[in-house]
Amino acid sequence: MKKEFLINISYSDYVPGMKLYLHQDHEGLKKSSIVEIKEISGFDKTSWIFKFPWSKDLYFITAEGVKIVWGKVDISCYVECDQTTSFLEEMVERYELEAQRRLNDHDNYSWSIRDYEDYLEDKQETLLEVIIEYEHKKAKEMQLKESTSA
């Protein structure tokens, strides 16, 4: 089981409690730092709903109090591995093997490279959606624990 992996997601897919991986130094945070998001511009923690703040910058505030403006700092979403994410990674490998099998099985499939690529793209998009939802669930559970222990 790997320890972690990085994904690139849209700003609106982040929620407080998720983690960022920095690909560059920023305001005292070093390249390769992993920081937790405490606040997100446009995100209402009470309703757990995001609305684009049209008149403001898109930014995160980290647990360390550092502001990271979207698009100004090179970041990725940091995903810690556990049994669920490890299983999802295994599914990627399974889909790759299945796509290869269908591409090579000319008797039962008439797949082109395009079919192969479309199949993998579709499966990877689905798995990415599942990972994002799983990260949301973990972050929300963490927020609830923090609010009840405070």
Give the orientation angle of helix 113-149 with respect to helix 83-104, to 10 degrees: 170
The answer to whether 29 and 75 have CB atoms below 8 angstroms apart is no
In this prediction, residue 94 carries a pLDDT of 96
Query: Domain-by-domain residue ranges, the chain?
Result: 4-79, 82-149
- The four Cα atoms 49, 55, 57, 58 give a dihedral, to 10 degrees, of 20
For the four alpha carbons of 119, 121, 124 and 128, in that order, the dihedral sign comes to: negative
Indicate the pTM of the whole model. 0.85
In this prediction, residue 2 carries a pLDDT of 64
- Averaged over successive runs of 10 residues, the pLDDT of the chain (150 residues) comes to 84 95 96 96 90 87 95 95 90 96 95 96 95 94 80
Q: Which residues pair with 75 in a beta bridge?
A: 22
CA distance 62 to 60: 6
Question: What DSSP character marks residue 66?
Answer: -
